[in-house]
Chain A
C-alpha cells in the first residue's frame, strides 16, 4: 500500500509582510492532504488590492477542495495569525479557514490555556513545573502582558519622528489579536508543542515524519543557560504599569501633577528646550528597546517543524531566533537531521538573528552550482518595513539574501508582481 506521499507542492502566498504557506502532499491516486502554515500580514506593498487576504483565503479553499487537514500557527504575532480572525457576519478570512474544517491545530506550548495564570490549582501547576520548568505560568502570563505594553506603546504620542515608524510597526505586530487566538483555540483539536514533543501531524499526514525542534520549554532552556537573570512576568508587569500611566495621561489630558503644569508644548521656556529635545529622543529610544525586546521574545515562541518524507526534509522555523534555536542546535540528533535539509523556509522574513550561522553551516545541500539536489529556500518578506540598513538590522538582511541567492534556489515573495499572489514549489520524493 503506497501510504507515503509522492510529492509536495508548497504554495507561498504573497501577504506583504507576513507568512502564509500551504503545503499540499500528493498521494498518487489517493486525495491530497493539506497543511496551512501561518496566515497573517502586517502590511502590503503599494498597489496591492485590499482584498488580498480574502483572495488568499478563497484560493486556499479552492486549492484544498474545501478540506484542510492541519493548521500550524507558529506564534502569536499579527503577521502570522491575523488571517485567522473571524468577523461578526462570519465573512472574514478566519471564517473561511474555519469552514475548511481542519483536523488539527499546531501551536507552541506557550499558547496552551492550561498553562496560564488562570489555570492554577495545586496539582496542575506542580505537574506543569515539573514538565515545563519552574516559572512556566509566569512566562505565559508575561506573554499576555506584552500585548498590553504593545498596545500602550502604540498609544504613546510625541515620539521623535525617526523612531515613530519602527515603534509603530513593532507595536502593531505585537498587539493582541483575540479573535484569531480564539478561532485557533476552537477550530479543531489543538496540539501545543515543544522541542522533542509529538505534533500529532503524523496521524493526519500518512508517511510523513514530523520533528518538533522548537520552542524549548523553560526546563530545556535552563539546561543550556546558567540562569534566567530576571522574572519575565515581573518585568513586563512593571512595563505595563509604567506605560499605562503615560498612555492614560495622554488620553485624558491629565498629568501626574495637574496643579503644577507650566507648559504642555506650545512654548517651553528657552533654557529647557535643549533638554526637552534630548529627553524626547531618549524616551523614544527606551520605548523602542522595550518593543524590540518583546517582539524578540514573542518570535522565540515560534514552532520549528522539520517534515521528513523519505530522504527529503522540509524545514519551517516560523520566526524563531537564536535563543529558540539554541536548544535544538545543541543536540547531536537534530544536528544530523538538519544537515540534509532540502527546503528551508527562511526564518523571520530574512532577519539577522533568525538564520543562525551555526544552522546555515549545517546545510549540506547548499551549493554555488545549480545541481539537482540544490537547497531550495522560500522567503516571505517585504523590504523597508522593519529595521534599517545603517544599523545592520534591515529585514531582509542584505548579507543573508546574497548568501541565499548564491548558495540556494531562492524564491522570495518580492518577485511576485502585479496580480500574481502565489508561487508553487514542487518537491518530488
Chain B
C-alpha cells in the first residue's frame, strides 16, 4: 500500500523541536539551557494547530493577535526544527547569546515552546496509560494561549477549553513570560489531563484532594524537566564544576546530588515566576523527612493545598534520588574512582522518566472521588506490582514506600502488608453482561454493577453513574502485554443536613441550616483483567463514616457551608421540549 506521500515506508512518527529546558533564567555554560523534545509528528496547520493542541497567540490585554508559527513540509522524510541552535566555530558564545535573544523575542518560538511541552506531556500520559487520553472537556483540541493577558498567572480553564499563560513586568523592566517556563506549561497541561481522567477531583473534599491536583501536577512537571538529560547534565556541572567526561564517585552521594541537581535547579529557576508556580521544588527538597506532616493538628500549614502538595513532590523526588543511586551502584568505574558522566546523566534522566510513567499510570488505580494521598500511594504500589511483579533489582516500590512514609504519607487502610490494594475475591454475576461490550460500554458496565450491587456494596438509593470505561494496554519487562479495562463509577447521595445522622451516622457541621442539602460522594474504579474478571474494586464507599465525617468537618471548618448553596443552573435544551409541548396544548 502506498501512502499519500508516495512512499511505501511509514511516515515519521516523531519529530524534535527545540524548547527552553526549564525557564530563561536557567543557564548552562553561559547560554540559556535549551533542549530538543521529541513529540508526535503530524502535519501542523499555522499556530501550530495540530490534532490535540491549537496555539492561538492572542493577547486580550492589548487586543492583539500575533502571527502564528508556520512549519514547512518535511523534506527527505525529516521535519524541520526551525529554532535549533547550530554551533559554528569559535564565536559560538556570541552566536549563542544572539540565539537566546531570538528565542526570547520571537513569539512564534513561544508558540512552539508551549506546543512541544504540552504535546510531550500528553504523549507521556498516553505512553503510561496505554491509550489515548482526553482533556477535561468535550472536544479534542485544547487551545494554548501563550500571551493571554498581563497578569502574573497561568491556568487551565475547563469551560474555555484552554490554558491561558499570562506575562508581567519583571524587576529588570523586561516582561516575564509564563509560557517559557517548562514546569508551568507541564503543570497546567497535567491539570487538563487529570481533569479528563478523574473529573470529580475538582469537587470540594478533604484537603488531600485539592492538594493532589496541585502536587501531582508538580510531580509531573518536575519529573518531566528532570527526565531531560540536558537538565541533569547542567546539575552535574554544578556538582563537579567541570566539563570532564568522567565524574568522581565521591560526588555521587545522596547529599551532593540533592544539593547540585535538585536544589541547584531550584536555585536557578526564575525567582519572579515563583508567584505563578509556587516554589514546590525548592521547598519540597529542603523539607526534612521523618515528621508527621500529614497531621493537620501538628502541622496546620500543610492543610493548605499547595503546601500539602509539596509532600507528594518531596516523597517522589527523594525516592528518585534513592533509585538513581541504586542504579549507579550497579555501574562500575571506568577509571579509578570515576564513572562515565554520560551514563550517570542518562541514568538520572531515566529514573525520572520511569517514575513519571509510574506516577501517571497509578491514576487508573485511584478511587474516582474523595482521593487521599494514602489512596494514591496504594495505587502507585499496586499497579507497579501488576506490571513489574519482581521489584528486587532496583527496589522502586521499596524506595517509594519508604519515602512516602518519611513524609507522613501512609498506605491506605484496606490494603495488604506491602501497601497494595486487596484483590477482589467476591463471587460475581457475569452471565448477564457481555465480555466484548464490557470493554468499552458504560451501559454494559452499569448493568454489571446493577446486577452485583449488593456484593459490590453499592448503595442503590444513591445516584450511580458509570463515568468512563477505558481499555489499558501496557508492556511489562517480560515483553508481554498487560490488558486491563478500567471502569469508573460515581455515586452521589443528596441528603438534608438533619438526615445525615440517621442515614449515615454522620454528625452535621455546627450551625448548619438543618434543611441545607448536602452531597455525599462515593465511587470506585473497577479493574477488569484480561479475562474480563473483576480484579480490583478500588472504592470510596458512601457508608465510610470516618471518611465522610472528616470531609464534612473539613468543609465546615473551611467555611464551605457559610456560602449560599449554588443555585440550580437554568434549564438547557430539555426545556425546549416543555415549551414546545405547552405551545401545542395552548393551540
Spell out A's residues near B (CB within 8 Å): 156-158, 226-227, 229, 234-235, 238-246, 249-250, 255-257, 260-265, 268-269, 271-272, 275-276, 278-283, 286, 290, 392
**Given contacts A241-B169, A244-B169, A279-B162, A249 and B56 within 8 Å (CB-CB):** no
Query: A242-B169, A264-B64, A283-B60 known; 14 other A-B pairs, CB under 8 Å?
Result: A241-B152, A243-B151, A245-B61, A246-B149, A257-B66, A257-B106, A261-B65, A261-B66, A261-B67, A263-B65, A275-B160, A279-B160, A283-B61, A286-B151
Instruction: List residues of chain B with CB within 8 A of the CB of A227.
Output: 301
Query: Of the candidates A226, A244, A279, A290, which one forms a contact with B300 in the assembled complex, judged by CB atoms under 8 Å apart?
Result: A226
B107/A260 in contact, CB under 8 A: yes
**Is B261 an interface residue, CB under 8 A from the partner?**
no
Instruction: List residues of chain B with CB within 8 A of the CB of A255.
Output: 59, 62, 64
Cα–Cα distance between A375 and B67 once the two chains are bound (Å)? 65
B164/A282 in contact, CB under 8 A: yes
**Given contacts A275-B56, A283-B61, A256 and B164 within 8 Å (CB-CB):** no
Cα–Cα distance between A283 and B169 once the two chains are bound (Å)? 17
Contact stretch, chosen from B140-148, B459-467, B469-477, B479-487: B140-148
**Is B583 an interface residue, CB under 8 A from the partner?**
no
CB distance from A273 to the nearest CB of B (A): 10
**Is B235 an interface residue, CB under 8 A from the partner?**
no
Cα–Cα distance between A263 and B65 once the two chains are bound (Å)? 5
**Is B326 an interface residue, CB under 8 A from the partner?**
no
A238/B152 in contact, CB under 8 A: yes
CB distance from A289 to the nearest CB of B (A): 10
Cα–Cα distance between A348 and B564 once the two chains are bound (Å)? 20
**Is B150 an interface residue, CB under 8 A from the partner?**
yes
Instruction: List residues of chain A with CB within 8 A of the CB of B169.
Output: 240-242, 244-245
Instruction: List residues of chain A with CB within 8 A of the CB of B409.
Output: none
Instruction: List residues of chain A with CB within 8 A of the CB of B149.
Output: 246, 279, 282-283, 286
**Is B187 an interface residue, CB under 8 A from the partner?**
no
**Given contacts A245-B167, A283-B61, A283-B149, A278 and B160 within 8 Å (CB-CB):** yes
CB distance from B274 to the nearest CB of A (A): 9
Which of B54, B68, B151 has the most C-beta atoms of chain A within 10 angstroms of its own C-beta?
A: B151
Cα–Cα distance between A281 and B162 once the two chains are bound (Å)? 13
Query: Of the candidates B64, B145, B168, which one forms a contact with A245 in the assembled complex, judged by CB atoms under 8 Å apart?
Result: B168
Cα–Cα distance between A239 and B169 once the two chains are bound (Å)? 9
A286/B62 in contact, CB under 8 A: no
Query: Of the candidates B62, B148, B161, which one forms a contact with A249 in the assembled complex, judged by CB atoms under 8 Å apart?
Result: B62
**Is B337 an interface residue, CB under 8 A from the partner?**
no
CB distance from B207 to the nearest CB of A (A): 14
A272/B60 in contact, CB under 8 A: no
A260/B67 in contact, CB under 8 A: yes
B156-167 vs A, CB cutoff 8 Å, 1 = contact: the mask equals 010011101011
B162/A278 in contact, CB under 8 A: yes
A262/B66 in contact, CB under 8 A: yes
A276/B58 in contact, CB under 8 A: yes
Question: What number of B residues sit within 8 Å (CB to CB) of A?
Answer: 44
Q: Identify which of residues 39-81 in chain B touch chain A, using a CB-to-CB cut-off of 8 Å.
A: 49, 54, 56, 58-68
Cα–Cα distance between A243 and B56 once the two chains are bound (Å)? 21
**Given contacts A260-B107, A276-B58, A279-B145, A242 and B67 within 8 Å (CB-CB):** no
Query: Of the candidates A260, A261, A276, A290, which one forms a contact with B56 in the assembled complex, judged by CB atoms under 8 Å apart?
Result: A276
Cα–Cα distance between A278 and B105 once the two chains are bound (Å)? 26
B63/A157 in contact, CB under 8 A: yes
B150/A257 in contact, CB under 8 A: no
Query: Of the candidates B61, B68, B143, B164, which one forms a contact with A246 in the assembled complex, judged by CB atoms under 8 Å apart?
Result: B61
A283/B148 in contact, CB under 8 A: yes
Cα–Cα distance between A156 and B301 once the two chains are bound (Å)? 37
A275/B61 in contact, CB under 8 A: no
**Is B514 an interface residue, CB under 8 A from the partner?**
no
Which chain B residue lies CB-closest to A160? B60
Instruction: List residues of chain B with CB within 8 A of the CB of A239.
Output: 151-152
Q: Identify which of residues 115-169 in chain B touch chain A, using a CB-to-CB cut-off of 8 Å.
A: 143, 145, 147-153, 157, 160-162, 164, 166-169
Please name 27 pairs of A and B residues whose Cβ atoms are closer than 8 Å in the assembled complex, sorted by A: A157-B63, A235-B275, A241-B168, A241-B169, A242-B152, A242-B169, A245-B175, A250-B61, A255-B64, A256-B64, A260-B67, A260-B107, A262-B67, A263-B65, A268-B65, A271-B49, A272-B58, A275-B54, A275-B160, A279-B60, A279-B145, A279-B162, A282-B60, A283-B148, A283-B149, A286-B153, A290-B151
Which chain A residue lies CB-closest to B110? A257
Which chain A residue lies CB-closest to B511? A357
Which chain A residue lies CB-closest to B176? A241
A256/B151 in contact, CB under 8 A: no
Instruction: List residues of chain A with CB within 8 A of the CB of B60.
Output: 158, 276, 279-280, 282-283
Cα–Cα distance between A239 and B170 once the two chains are bound (Å)? 11
Cα–Cα distance between A257 and B111 once the two chains are bound (Å)? 13
**Is B304 an interface residue, CB under 8 A from the partner?**
yes
Instruction: List residues of chain A with CB within 8 A of the CB of B162.
Output: 275, 278-279
A226/B301 in contact, CB under 8 A: yes
Which of B58, B64, B68, B157 has the most C-beta atoms of chain A within 10 angstroms of its own C-beta?
A: B64
Instruction: List residues of chain B with CB within 8 A of the CB of A229.
Output: 304
Which of B65, B66, B145, B160 has the most C-beta atoms of chain A within 10 angstroms of its own C-beta?
A: B65
Instruction: List residues of chain B with CB within 8 A of the CB of A226.
Output: 300-301
**Is B277 an interface residue, CB under 8 A from the partner?**
no
**Is B182 an interface residue, CB under 8 A from the partner?**
no
B65/A272 in contact, CB under 8 A: yes
Instruction: List residues of chain B with CB within 8 A of the CB of A275.
Output: 54, 56, 58, 143, 145, 160, 162
A276/B65 in contact, CB under 8 A: yes
Instruction: List residues of chain B with CB within 8 A of the CB of A242.
Output: 150-152, 166-169
Cα–Cα distance between A195 and B62 once the two chains are bound (Å)? 44
Instruction: List residues of chain B with CB within 8 A of the CB of A240.
Output: 169
Instruction: List residues of chain B with CB within 8 A of the CB of A290.
Output: 151
Which chain A residue lies CB-closest to B173? A241
A265/B275 in contact, CB under 8 A: no
Cα–Cα distance between A420 and B166 once the two chains are bound (Å)? 50
Which chain A residue lies CB-closest to B68? A262
Cα–Cα distance between A264 and B275 once the two chains are bound (Å)? 30
Which of A158, A239, A272, A276 has the most C-beta atoms of chain B within 10 angstroms of its own C-beta?
A: A272
CB distance from B208 to the nearest CB of A (A): 18
Which chain A residue lies CB-closest to B60? A283
B157/A282 in contact, CB under 8 A: yes
Instruction: List residues of chain A with CB within 8 A of the CB of B170.
Output: 241
